[in-house]
Amino acid sequence: MSTSAHAIQDYSLLSDEECDQRIQSAKEKLGERCVILGHHYQRNEVFKHADFSGDSLKLSRHAADSKAEYIVFCGVHFMAEVSVILSRPEQITILPDMAAGCSMADMANLTNVERSWKELNSVINADEMVTPVTYINSAADLKAFCGRHEGIVCTSSNAKQVLNWCFEKREKILFFPDEHLGRNTGYRMGIPLDEMVVWNFNQPMGGLSKEQINKAKVILWKGFCSVHQMFEANQIDDFKKRYPDTLVIAHPEANFEVCEKADYVGSTEMILKTVRDAKPNTRWLIATELNLVNRLKEEVKGENKEVHFMSPTVSMCSTMFRTDPQHLVWVLENLADGIVVNQINVSKEDQLMAKKALNNMLSLAI
């Protein structure tokens, strides 16, 4: 057994083929002690080594239910934090590349959210009138913030049910970090657009008047996923001129205009299920991350289903792309030698409060 960690620099020049062989060897050596999680947006060279694939919450729950001592999360930082929060105390979660973050999650930090809460309290009694909701694509300390303020976490699958839960408790919602998921969900629940306002954290009082705050049912954080902002309504129009019978399906992180033109709007899991369950000889235009779309295209082409990526330009999650076979084999070979590198930690207090917010979500009958 090695007494010191292998350096990542020693792996940077390995070919993907050599990495494949060494990943398999390390996996065999580790056996059930290690589980590899692969998010839908992960590059194929890494995704193929995953023991479980799915969205971030599904993966974390799989890992927590497994026998594994080590959870290697091929995703981004907030996903690994969710794994820490939901896993057993003896389990260790590892992120192959610590630089794999999420630009949308970074748009809401605890300092700005706490300041916004204080500012809201200067206009209304936020502690009694507002329920904070954080999208699962957020840092652990924001989930903990929601736990401390009787709030909740949501996913793109359950946002409607979560918002209904919130309105049963209080009359207003502060929704962060993704304004598009909040707006698209709220509008489909019958909330008028003028009762959903955007809080610009770079401006005093979010750039809103007291009248706007008092009128609003949903206060949307000014945040977005850069991948899903590549999709535009005119791309749908142009495509349907050539293929009028096309069915359009969009992730709710896409902008309002795209989602309004889509035939279906839903999470990555919903997108996959809808296309897989569709009749043969159907054509689909999809607004979500490129790796997922390309894998789905290959999967269903034998059923005479045509799958197209909506944007004419490449749109993949660049931070997710940081996790490569070289980083994966690096962490696995260190584990095989009894050395943990890139462990993700969340403070006990944040774990407790974040789990409270997550449990509020998990308690819903969805």
Q: Are residues 95 and 112 in the same domain?
A: no
- Element spanning 37, H or E: strand 34-39
Distance CA 62, CA 250 (A): 26
Query: Is 361 within the bounds of a domain?
Result: no
Based on the fold, state whether residues 275 and 336 are members of the same structural domain: no
- Cβ atoms of 247 and 285 within 8 Å: the answer is yes
pTM of the predicted protein model: 0.92
User: Quick one: 332 and 285 in the same domain?
Assistant: no
Task: Sort residue 364 into left (φ over 0), alpha (ψ -120 to 50) or beta.
Answer: beta
Q: For residue 140, what are the contacts with CB-CB under 8 A and spacing of at least 6? A: 78, 81, 82, 84, 85, 346, 350, 351, 354
Question: What distance in Å separates the CA atoms of residue 90 and residue 283, rounded to the nearest whole number?
Answer: 47
The helix (H) or strand (E) run that includes residue 74 is strand 70-74
**CA neighbor of 329 nearest in space, from 44, 73, 22:** 22
Tens-binned pLDDT, residue by residue, of the chain (366 aa): 455 789 999 999 999 999 999 999 999 999 999 999 999 888 899 999 999 998 888 889 888 899 999 999 999 999 999 999 999 999 999 999 999 988 888 899 999 999 999 999 999 999 999 999 999 999 999 999 999 999 999 999 999 999 999 999 999 999 999 999 999 999 999 999 999 999 999 999 999 999 999 999 999 999 999 889 999 999 999 999 999 999 999 999 999 999 999 999 999 999 999 999 999 999 999 999 999 999 999 999 999 999 999 998 766 676 777 899 999 999 999 999 999 999 999 999 999 999 999 999 999 965
pLDDT at 227: 87
Q: Rounded to an integer, what distance in angstroms lies between the CA atom of residue 186 and that of residue 165?
A: 13
Does a structural domain hold residue 239?
A: yes
Of 205, 225, 245, which residue constitutes the final position of a domain?
A: 225
Domain range enclosing 258: 228-309
Query: Do 14 and 83 share a structural domain?
Result: yes
Number of domains in the chain: 3
Distance CA 349, CA 347 (A): 5
Quick one: which of 101, 95, 171, 177 has its CA closest to 136?
177
Among 225, 246, 264, the domain-final residue is 225
Do 83 and 138 share a domain, yes or no?
no
Going through 81-179 in order, the beta strands assigned E by DSSP cover 92-94, 130-135, 152-154, 172-176
Rounded Cα gap, residues 80 and 94, in angstroms: 7
Per residue in 216-251, pLDDT (tens digit) is 999 999 999 988 999 999 999 999 999 999 999 999
b or e along 286-308 (b: 16 or more beta carbons within 10 Å of the residue's beta carbon)? bbbbbbbbebbbeebeeeebebe
In a 3-state reduction of DSSP, which class is residue 300? helix
In a domain, 364, yes or no: no
Q: Which pLDDT value is given to residue 157?
A: 94
Q: Cα(234)–Cα(216) distance, rounded to whole angstroms?
A: 30
What tokens appear for 61 in the block?
A: 């729950």
Cβ distance 214 to 172 under 8 Å? no
Q: What pLDDT, in 10s, does the model give residues 143-165? A: 999 999 999 999 999 999 999 99
| Pair of tokens at residue 204 | 């005093």
In a domain, 252, yes or no: yes
- Among 225, 249, 271, where does a domain finish? 225
Which neighbouring-strand residues pair with 268? none
As a whole number of angstroms, the distance between CA 163 and CA 15 comes to 47
In a domain, 365, yes or no: no
CATH code for the domain in which residue 113 is found: 3.40.50
Q: 204 and 261: one domain?
A: no
Q: Is residue 40 part of a domain?
A: yes
pLDDT for the residue 54: 85
> Which residue type does 268 have?
T
Q: How far is CA 190 from CA 68, 128, 183, 187, 193, in A?
A: 44, 23, 11, 5, 9
| pLDDT for 313 | 77
Distance separating the N- and C-terminal Cα atoms of the chain = 47
pLDDT on residue 40: 86
What phi and psi, each to the nearest 5 degrees, are found at residue 284?
-125, 135
CATH number at residue 280: 3.40.50.10800
β 172-176/130-135 pair status: parallel
Phi/psi for 294 (5° steps) reads -65, -40
Q: Residue 82: enclosing H or E segment and its boundaries?
A: helix 77-86
